């Protein structure tokens, strides 16, 4: 590992997990670009290349096929038990769980690395990806189903699983390219079409994400197989998660690069 990359070695599991899919992460990165200062965007581009967040935001998933960072697998998720109280959920941000992933630990460690060295390329590549992962409901999913990968579903009659539905199917159902979707989300949620709303704390964002995850599991128990019903039920919640992930990423980078 490169000098300064201080994240502890973590254990790997066998089943692949991809949060949001390539388009989802590009949407988040594009929203971040749209809401960062010119100073911050120039600094990010200096590290990653021109508009480099778009080019590199999916690198952390792609690198799983290499052996450079073999211990990075479980940085991408933080499984949580069902039925947790808000206080119990928030406590995982301060006291990292001993099992079920290391996303909180990885994000905090990467932020420490980047605060000390703003030019650390690999730390930046991991960070921009994992912040997005933390807003995907299937990356704070239950421990017993591998982030929804073992929960079988059908999407317009075709077999799939719960993770892939949130990984790709929901986003693709909207029919936007990533730039179009980022602009759509900013038009939809920016206050007065001029600026982003006042952001909640990281803890409040996690509580909202966890509640969405629990709602998704509860809907599975209803056994409604109508895909149109599913899209209607969760479209707005998904779009808010994508948007807020982009705003959070922008704010975090502004702070790191201040």
- Please give the model's pTM, rounded to 2 decimal places: 0.91
Q: How many domains does the chain have?
A: 1
- What does the buried/exposed string (b/e) look like for 137-149 if buried means 16 or more CB atoms within 10 Å of the residue's CB? bbbbbbeebbbbb
Q: d(Cα 41, Cα 34) in Å, to the nearest integer?
A: 9
Q: Which domain holds residue 34?
A: 21-256
Task: Identify the CATH number of the domain in which residue 111 sits.
Answer: 1.10.575.10
Q: Is there a domain that residue 4 lies in?
A: no
Q: Is there a domain that residue 13 lies in?
A: no
* Spatial CA neighbour of 3 closest among 107, 116, 108: 116
Q: Is there a domain that residue 8 lies in?
A: no
Q: Is there a domain that residue 6 lies in?
A: no
Q: Is there a domain that residue 55 lies in?
A: yes
Q: Is there a domain that residue 11 lies in?
A: no
- Residue 74: other Cβ atoms inside 10 A: 20
Q: What is the pLDDT along the chain (258 residues), one digit of tens a residue?
A: 444 444 433 333 334 455 689 999 999 999 999 999 999 999 999 999 999 999 999 999 999 878 888 888 899 999 999 999 999 999 999 999 999 999 999 999 999 999 999 999 999 999 999 999 999 999 999 989 989 999 999 999 999 999 999 999 999 999 999 999 999 999 999 976 566 667 789 999 999 999 999 999 999 999 999 999 999 999 999 999 999 999 999 999 999 999
Say which residue the tokens 């199917």 belong to. Answer: 169
Q: Is there a domain that residue 165 lies in?
A: yes
Q: Is there a domain that residue 166 lies in?
A: yes
């Amino acid at each position: 590992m490169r000098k300064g990359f201080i994240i502890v070695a973590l254990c790997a599991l066998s089943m692949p997990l991809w949060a949001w899919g390539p388009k989802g992460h590009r949407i988040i990165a594009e929203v971040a670009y749209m809401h960062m200062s010119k100073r911050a965007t120039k600094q990010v581009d200096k590290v990653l290349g021109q508009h480099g967040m778009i080019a590199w935001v999916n690198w952390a998933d792609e690198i799983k096929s290499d052996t450079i960072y073999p211990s990075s697998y479980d940085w991408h998720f933080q499984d949580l038990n069902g039925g947790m109280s808000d206080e119990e959920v928030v406590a995982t941000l301060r006291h990292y769980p001993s099992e079920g992933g290391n996303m909180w630990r990885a994000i905090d460690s990467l932020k420490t690395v980047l605060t000390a060295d703003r030019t650390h390329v690999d730390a930046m590549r991991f960070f921009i990806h994992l912040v997005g992962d933390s807003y995907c409901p299937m990356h704070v999913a239950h421990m017993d189903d591998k982030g929804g990968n073992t929960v079988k579903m059908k999407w317009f009659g075709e077999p799939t699983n719960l993770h892939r539905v949130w990984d790709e199917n929901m986003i693709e159902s909207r029919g936007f390219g990533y730039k179009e979707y980022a602009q759509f989300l900013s038009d939809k949620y920016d206050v007065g079409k001029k600026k982003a709303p006042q952001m909640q704390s990281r803890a409040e964002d996690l509580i909202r994400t966890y509640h969405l995850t629990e709602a998704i599991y509860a809907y599975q128990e209803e056994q409604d197989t109508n895909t149109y019903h599913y899209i209607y039920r969760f479209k707005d919640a998904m779009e808010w998660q994508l948007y807020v992930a982009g705003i959070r990423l922008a704010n975090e980078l502004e702070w790191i690069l201040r």
